[in-house]
């Protein structure tokens, strides 16, 4: 095997970036989603509109923000609003992609970032929702980014912070959530995953370079569906790495 010329974070960033399309809107936070959005703008989606939780819409990411409410998240933005305006925009169906994370995820894409264990007597109390519930409820397609292991990919989350497909087909609509919304992809250090169009269960679409299907299944704590043809994601290209290292994160805050 040839030595990799990239690190796991760079692979995650490139995988997420390739999911973003031109002329679309994306709810992002700091970290990997922000770098992925910036890379997408410079590679293939120049008209991607980034949206930060604290109100920056359409900021030019010349210098990366260090917080969702920092001044750089409003740099040359289309508008400088507030958190309520952003959440309203999602509720009105104006935001296509929502990037989220969590400590736990289940087969239907429900995410937990609230507690590990019992809600009233938790083993660990986590940061909570922030805008995670609103993003998962109202953005057209949500993309989760997280590490892949059995502690995180579990049969049932301890608490639903961000709704996925809840208990299966029709359950989002029954709960009053907008139709035709929900989880789209899960990006991990091992794989790219999607959801079966009928059963709404998580499905393996592609492995990361050098990772086998068996390794992905071994690190998943529930039965994972397999696509008819499980592909292997291409590694970061030289152009992606050059732009990412020299232009996107030139100050090396994140990578």
Query: Cβ distance 51 to 33 under 8 Å?
Result: no
- CA dist., res. 43 & res. 107, Å (int): 32
Torsion-angle region of residue 107: left (phi > 0), alpha (psi -120 to 50) or beta?
alpha
Catalytic residue IDs: 53
Query: Cβ distance 239 to 43 under 8 Å?
Result: yes
**Non-local CB neighbours of 48 within 8 Å, separated by 6+ positions:** 20, 21, 22, 23, 24, 25, 26, 37, 40, 41
CA distances from residue 99 to 129, 151, 209 in whole angstroms, order as listed: 13, 21, 23
51: nearest Cα among 98, 91, 5, 10: 98
Written as six digits, the tokens of 240 are 């992606």
């Amino acid at each position: 095997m040839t030595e990799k010329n990239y690190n796991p974070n760079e692979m995650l960033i490139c995988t997420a970036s390739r999911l973003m399309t031109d002329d679309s809107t994306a709810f992002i936070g700091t970290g990997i989603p922000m770098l992925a959005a910036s890379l997408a703008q410079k590679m293939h989606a120049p008209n991607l509109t980034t949206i930060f939780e604290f109100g920056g819409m359409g900021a030019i990411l010349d210098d990366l923000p260090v917080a969702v409410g920092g001044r750089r998240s409003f740099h040359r933005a289309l508008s400088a609003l507030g958190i309520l305006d952003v959440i309203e925009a999602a509720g009105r169906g104006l935001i296509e992609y929502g990037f989220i994370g969590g400590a736990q995820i289940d087969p239907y894409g429900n995410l937990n970032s609230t507690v590990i264990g019992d809600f009233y007597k938790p083993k660990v109390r986590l940061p909570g929702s922030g805008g995670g519930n609103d993003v998962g409820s109202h953005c057209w397609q949500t993309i989760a980014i997280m590490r892949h292991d059995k502690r995180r990919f579990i049969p049932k989350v301890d608490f639903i912070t961000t709704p996925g497909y809840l208990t299966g087909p029709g359950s989002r609509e029954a709960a009053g959530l907008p139709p035709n919304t929900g989880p789209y992809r899960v990006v991990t250090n091992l794989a790219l995953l999607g959801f079966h169009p009928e059963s709404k269960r998580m499905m393996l679409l592609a492995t990361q370079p050098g990772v086998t299907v068996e390794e992905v299944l071994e690190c998943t704590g529930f039965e994972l569906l397999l696509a008819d043809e499980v592909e292997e994601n291409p590694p970061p290209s030289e152009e992606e790495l050059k732009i990412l290292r020299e232009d996107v994160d030139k100050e090396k805050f994140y990578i």
